[in-house]
Amino acid sequence: MSRPIQAIIDHSALVHNLSIVRQYVPHTRIFAVLKADAYGHGLLHTANALKNVDGFALLELDAAITLRTAGYQQPILLLEGFFSTMEIALIEQYQLSTVIHHPEQVSMLTDSQSRKIDIFIKVNTGMNRLGLSPKQLPQVIQKLTNNQQVKNITLMTHFASADDPHEKASVFRQLQCFEVITEKYNYPCSLANSAAIVNYPETHSDWVRPGIMLYGASPLSDKTATDLNLLPVMTLSSKIIAIHDLEAGDKVGYHGLFKADYRMRIGIVACGYADGYPRHVPTGTPVLINNQRGRLLGRVSMDMLAIDLTGIENAKLGDPVVLWGKGMPVEEIATYAETSSYELLCGLAARVDRKFLKSF
Ligand SMILES: *Cc1c(COP(=O)(O)O)cnc(C)c1O
């Protein structure tokens, strides 16, 4: 028998969320972002649900090769590009597309024996993470045009703050920077992540790169997934594996962090920080017990956590508990954990079984 914890991955929610992206960008091609094992959802099943998308984007070369070998024909873009000449050979062999964000990569590519690779030249327009400076760009483009190693060129940038309604000026500064330095070229462009897809139609251009919204979490700080008609894809669920009746003064878990003020009943759930549930959430963090909202108590352990069964009708061993997902937005748990939905989803531990359902 295995532990009752599992992550249910809802195939139909992925299909639905992709259709929402398409409503925002009816005339733009879409890269579904599948990095970090599809944000913790599982690479191949997620790709399968999104198989009609125009392309896939990720950073891990082995995962890109896995996708190509699985038979996907569309462009597969490596978002950080390559780190060695050997990787360039694999990019050519598997017909992957690659970002180029640094002059070192330009030399590596032009010194290589490879031919006809699709490249995405990334420009740093103000985020100061990856990308060539606007000053470096013309030289690099000159080096890479009419060059046997290169097939098609696309220009690309990434926004630092498209999720924050108070940061509009920052997005428009980056957008303007991009437009000024790229207008003299006639290459296709790619700028928008999920937040920019929703908030900034002027950034849609030729290719968009949604990640988080495909997984059904809101990309915006001021709107919920429900506001955007997105459906949660991952539901992390487990079961009550023990029940205890406490007297006033009894304590729960490590360091007795929670102390009962009155007689109460608690449940122990098979889910802990080694499963990817955040350790530092406080007492009061919401959980869904038998479809009723309840609360977590005390310190989350490695493999278990405690919940309050006060007011939960007929709670018994084996009852289902949803930690996040359907009925319990992951963004809400992220707020209690002082982190983002991204971190919770892609932090789901490998030991948690993913169960793929056609619909849920
Ligand atoms: C992760 C990533 C995305 C997707 O971002 P979301 O906010 O999840 O939509 C897009 N572009 C790049 C370069 C990324 O690294």
* Mean pLDDT (whole number) for 80-106: 97
Q: Give a yes or no: residue 331 inside a domain.
A: yes
Indicate the pLDDT class of residue 337, thresholds 50, 70 and 90: very high
Residues 186-216: pLDDT tens digits? 999 999 999 999 999 999 999 999 999 999 9
Q: How far is the CA of 71 from the centre of ligand 1 (A)?
A: 24
Q: Ligand 1 in contact with 194 (CB < 6 A)?
A: yes
Same domain, yes or no, for 135 and 20?
Answer: yes
Pair (258, 151) in one structural domain: no
Q: Note whether 139 and 89 are same-domain residues.
A: yes
Domain assignment of residue 134, yes or no:
yes
Q: Which residue has the tokens 């420009």?
A: 123
pLDDT value at residue 1: 64
The pLDDT value given to residue 2: 86
Ligand 1 lined by 219 (C-beta under 6 Å)? yes
Do 179 and 280 reside in the same domain of the chain? Answer: no
Which residues make Cβ contacts (< 8 Å) with residue 277, sequence separation at least 6? Answer: 236, 271, 300, 305, 323
In this structure, is residue 167 part of a structural domain?
yes
Which range of residues forms the domain containing residue 316?
234-357
Residue 248 and residue 198 share a domain: no
For the residues of 295-348, what is the DSSP string, one character each? EEES---SS-EEEE-TT-TT--TT-EEEEEBTTB-HHHHHHHTTS-HHHHHHT-
Q: Is the pLDDT confidence value at 229 over 70?
A: yes
Ligand 1 atom closest to the CA of 193, numbered from 1:
9
254 is known as an active-site residue = yes
For the chain, what percent of residues have pLDDT higher than 70?
100
Angle between helices 85-93 and 61-69 (to 10 degrees): 20
CA–CA distance from 153 to each of 94, 150, 206, 208, 296 (Å)?
A: 18, 8, 12, 16, 51
* Ligand 1, pocket-test mutation among 98, 193, 198, 344, most atoms within 8 A of CB: 193
The structural domain count of the chain equals 2
Compute the CA torsion angle 2, 332, 278, 264 (nearest 10 deg). -70
- Pair (70, 166) in one structural domain: yes
Please give the distance, rounded to the nearest whole angstrom, from the Cα atom of residue 33 to the centre of ligand 1. Answer: 7
Q: What is the pLDDT of residue 359?
A: 84
Question: Is 184 marked active-site?
Answer: no
Say if 245 falls within a structural domain.
yes
**Please, what's the largest Cα pairwise distance for the chain?**
79
Asked if 118 and 163 sit in the same domain, the reply is yes
Q: Are residues 89 and 181 in the same domain?
A: yes
Distance 209 CA to ligand 1 centre (A): 6
Report percent pLDDT > 90 for the chain.
96
Position 226 in a domain? no
d(CA 329, ligand 1 centre) in Å: 20
- What is the mean predicted confidence (pLDDT) over 255-277? 96
170 plus 269 within the same structural domain? no
| Cβ 216 under 6 angstroms from ligand 1 | no
pLDDT at 344 > cutoff 70: yes
Give yes or no: residues 261 and 208 share one domain: no
For residue 119, the domain's CATH number is 3.20.20.10
Residue 267 placed within a domain: yes
Atom 6 of ligand 1, residue of closest alpha carbon: 211
What is the rounded average pLDDT for all residues in the chain? 97
Residue 347 lies in a domain: yes
- Catalytic residue, candidates 24, 35, 122, 277: 35
| Residues 6+ away with beta carbon under 8 Å from 236 | 5, 6, 7, 271, 275, 276, 277, 322, 323, 324, 325, 348, 352
CATH number of domain containing 322: 2.40.37.10
Q: Which of 79, 163, 199, 230 to mutate to test the pocket of ligand 1 (most atoms within 8 A of CB)?
A: 79
* Same domain (yes/no): 305, 270: yes
- 209 CB-near residues (< 8 Å, 6+ apart): 30, 31, 33, 57, 190, 192, 193
Residues 286, 209 share a domain = no
State whether the beta carbon of 40 lies less than 6 angstroms from ligand 1. Answer: no
Q: What is the pLDDT of residue 313?
A: 83
Helix (H) or strand (E) holding 252: strand 251-252
